[in-house]
Structure 1
Amino acid sequence: MADKRELLILGGGLVGMTLALAAARKGISSHVVDRADPADLLAEGFDGRASAISTASWNLFKNIGLADQLEPHGCRIESIAVTDNMRPGRIDFVPEEHEGTLGRMFANRQLRLALFEAAKDEKLISWHAKANVVERHRGEHGVSVTLEDGAVLEASLLVGAEGRGSPTRDGAGISIAKWDYSHRAIIQGLIHEKPHDGVAWEIFYEAGPFALLPLLDDDQGRHRSALVWTVSEADGEGVMKLGPRAFKAEVEKRLHGIFGDIELNGGRSSYPLGFHHTAKIVDNRLALVGDAAHGIHPIAGQGLNLGLRDVGALVQVIAEGMRIGLDPGDAQVLARYEKWRGLDSFMVALATDGLTRLFGIPGKAPSAIRRLGMGAVQRMPTLKRWFMDEARGMSGDLPELLKG
């Protein structure tokens, strides 16, 4: 007899596995299918990226029981400094003492470790790693997938969580608006002389944002940050080919001495930047979450947080629907998820796209206008508060799992 479960989640990355764990905490069972080998994903140096986890997303991790395991590995973001070319007119976002932090920085590898460890011991999660899906089926009463080894998995609802190139989304014929920014993000770890004091820097240059994200000191007590440097696609290959000394010199030029002496830490990686947003996030017995539904520029560090809001909302509508006897794949349940998340994710995507374009306009006059605007925000507590609430993920209609 087939092991039919409530959810069939295709994609076991940060968003997909968080969804499976959040669902399990509500008594909802799932199959999680991922083609990757977990050992590869957890290898040192596989992915040098780090993610900013907002206050709301941290609440989600607390509510699904991951906080104790993650807490020692997260660096608190005490404030955010935003500047145009390091010229006068900077904004400093500093939360009130009772609000805690603006979020936490985690290495993606550390998030995976915590998620995979929890999933391994969860009876409501059937984890199928190193598995390729060869056929997907959505019918009137349920869904199923056939794996390459011939195994058939069944559930009530199919969830596409495979990321930007989601074959589940594309196979469902869901249309998508997308464009390429012709930019590339260069990722590099830094060790630096001066402490970062928990400050996340967003320095806007004409070629793109230059972000410095605070990390915990290493086991030798050295101060560390993660650099996310956006360059044009035309320059990306050249920047990646720079030797360590030349690359360090280019970074130092843009740092203006805020960290003192620096050295490079670990390998360098890069990935292309683009925008996409689906016309809808549900179909017959199908829901999309995370980058399968919306991919945004990393300018505000909201990509993963947007996906975690999807997780909270989807779990809540399914759990509430099941309490009144509705199937997880019921059209009423999915319509509620679509209404809740469709507009919010679209507005965040538009805002990040607008910021990317606004700060990319070259010339002294646009820079002066931007700095004038930032100076006005710095002097307006109400507007500044709104921006901070957005950064913390605490605005709008929050799912219960994302509340404190």
Structure 2
Amino acid sequence: MSDKRDLLILGGGLVGMTMALAAARAGLSSHVVDRADPAELTAEGFDGRASAISTASWNLFTNIGLADALEPHGCPIDAIAVTDGMKPGRIDFKPQPHEGSLGRMFHNRQLRLALFEAAASEPLITRHMLATVIERQRGEHGVSATLADGTVLHASLMVGAEGRMSPTREEAGITMAQWDYSHRALIVGLTHEKPHDNTAWEIFYPAGPFALLPLLDAEDGTHRSALVWTVAEKDAAGVLAMPRAMFLAEAQQRTHGVLGGLALHGEISSWPLSFQHTVTLTAQRLALIGDAAHGMHPIAGQGLNLGLRDVGTLVEVLVEGMRLGLDPGDAQLLARYQKWRALDSLMVMSATDGLTRLFGIPGRLPSAVRRLGMGIVQRTPPLKRWFMDEARGVSGQVPALLKG
């Protein structure tokens, strides 16, 4: 007998597993398929990346029951300092006392651990890990995926969540607007002399942004942060080949001493940077979420948050449709998801792309113009509030799961 589920989620990473869990909390069943080994994904040192979880995304995690597991591991972001090369004219974003933090920083490993543990105990989720999809079918009455071991999984709706290189998206023939920034993000943990005071620093240099993101102190009280340093692709190999002492000296120079003396913690990883946005988020009985739908520059830390907004929206659309007796793969529901998410995701990505290009223009005059604009934002509370609400994910039409 076929074990047909509501959803067939292809990709069990942060966004895909959150989709499965959020759907399950709303009563929707799913198969989740991923090629990766969960033990490797949650191993110490596998992925040194950390993610800024916005206010809206934290609401989502709270509403699907992850807050208690995650709370001890997150560092609140109480302020964001944005500066053009540490010159005068920076912007300081700070929430009102009643609003809590601007977000929380988590190691990706901790997010995976919490998600995997919650999914393992959820009867509406069946995980197929270390599994390769060799065939996908989308028809008038349902979808299926055939795995390499011969297993055939059936569902009403296929959800593509495999990330930027999504084979589901490619097989569906969905085209993308895309370009390469010719930059690479270098990511490594730091320990430092001074406390970070829960402040995230976004320091813009013509060669690329240099971000210092606060993490919880170590158990022995050592202060820790995550560094995301963007360099030109042509320079990346040389920077990565530097002796650690030289790399550290270069990083130290760019911080202007805001964290005091620095030391590297862990290995340096690197990721190429590009822009990609699909022409559509849907096809017949198919919805794309996360990086399968839109990959962006990490300049504002919105990539994962944008994917979590996809999750909240898709779950809400499906639940409301099923209450009316509609099938999860109904074209009306997919059209609503497309309409709701397309404009928001494009606006966020366009703003991020614009900032990347604006701050990449070298020279004194462009720097002076940028700092003048930043000074205007700093002195204009309504404008500053708008930027903060965008960063926190609480502006516009927000899905119920992402509300407090």
User: TM-score, normalised on structure 1?
Assistant: 1.00
* Counterparts of 1:251 and 1:148, CA distance in 2: 46
Matches within 5 A, 1:33-44: 33-44=33-44
Percent same amino acid at aligned positions?
A: 74
Aligned-partner SS, 1:144? strand
1:224-250 superposed Cα distances (whole Å, 9 cap, x missing partner)? 000000000001111111111101110
Structure 2 match to 1:217: 217
For 2:386, the equivalent position in structure 1 comes to 386
Residue 364 of structure 2 aligns with which residue?
364
Match of 2:10 in 1: 10
Query: Which whole-Å CA distance do the structure 1 matches of 2:362 and 2:155 have between them?
Result: 52
- Partner of 1:89: helix, strand, or coil? coil
- 2:141 is the alignment partner of 1:138: no
Query: 1:219 Cα deviation (Å)?
Result: 1.2
Alpha-carbon shift at residue 295 of structure 1 (Å)? 0.5
1:117 aligned residue: 117
Question: In structure 1, what is the Cα distance between the partners aligned to 2:374 and 2:139?
Answer: 52
**CA distance in structure 1 between the aligned counterparts of 2:318 and 2:140, rounded to whole angstroms:** 18
1:248 is matched with: 248
1:261-315: per-residue Cα shift (whole Å, max 9, x none)? 1111111100100000000000000000000000010000000000000000000
Give the letter aligned to residue 202 of structure 1: E
Task: Kindly provide the amino acid, as one letter, of the partner of residue 219 in structure 2.
Answer: D
State the match for 2:89 in structure 1.
89
- Counterpart for residue 152 of structure 1: 152
1:266 aligns with 2:302: no
Residues 340-361 of structure 1: CA deviation (Å, up to 9, x unaligned): 0011101111000000000000
Correspondence list, 1:95-110, <5 A: 95-110=95-110
Aligned pairs, number: 404
In 1, the alpha carbon distance for the partners of 2:239 and 2:262 equals 18
Letter in structure 1 aligned against 2:153: L
How far apart, CA to CA, are the structure 2 residues paired with 1:260 and 1:5? 54
Shift of 1:401: 0.2
SS at match of 2:177: strand
Structure 1: stretches of 5+ with no match in the other structure: none
- Answer yes or no: is 1:350 the counterpart of 2:350: yes
1:324 matched to 2:324? The reply is: yes
Deviations 1:68-107 (A, max 9, x none): 0000000000000000010000000000000110000000
Runs of 4+ in 1 over 2 A off after TM superposition: none
- Give distance in 2, aligned partners of 1:262 and 1:50: 18
Deviation (angstroms), 1:51: 0.2
Structure 2 counterpart of 1:227, one-letter code: L
Rounded to whole Å, the distance in 2 between the matches of 1:259 and 1:353 is 28
Amino acid at match of 1:26: A
- Residue identity matched to 1:298: P
Letter in 1 for 2:279: A
Which amino acid in the other structure matches residue 26 of structure 2? Answer: K
Distance of 2:165 and 2:263 partners within structure 1: 35
Structure 1: which amino acid aligns with 2:189? G
Is the counterpart of residue 226 in structure 1 residue 226 in structure 2?
yes
Match of 1:311 in 2: 311
- What's the counterpart of residue 49 of structure 2? 49
Matched position secondary structure for 2:173: coil
Equivalent AA in structure 2 for residue 351 of structure 1? A
Matches of residues 202-213 of structure 1 in structure 2 within 5 Å?
202-213=202-213
C-alpha separation between the residues in 2 aligned to 1:379 and 1:369? Answer: 16
Q: CA deviation at 1:141?
A: 0.2
Give the aligned residue type for 2:110.
Q
Compute the RMSD of aligned alpha carbons: 0.4
Task: Determine the structure 2 residue equivalent to 1:377.
Answer: 377
Q: In 1, distance between residues paired with 2:276 and 2:354?
A: 14
Q: Tell me what 2:23 maps to.
A: 23
Mapped to 1, the partners of 2:218 and 2:242 lie a distance apart of 26
Normalising by structure 2, we get a TM-score of 1.00
Q: Distance in 2 between matches of 1:15 and 1:116?
A: 12
Q: Hey, what's the Cα distance between the residues in 1 that align with 2:40 and 2:184?
A: 24
Q: Residue type matched to 1:218 in 2?
A: A
In structure 1, distance between residues paired with 2:251 and 2:26: 47
Deviations 1:372-399 (A, max 9, x none): 0000000000000000001111011000
Structure 2 gaps, min length 5: none
CA distance in 2, matches of 1:55, 1:22: 17
1:287 maps to 2:287: yes
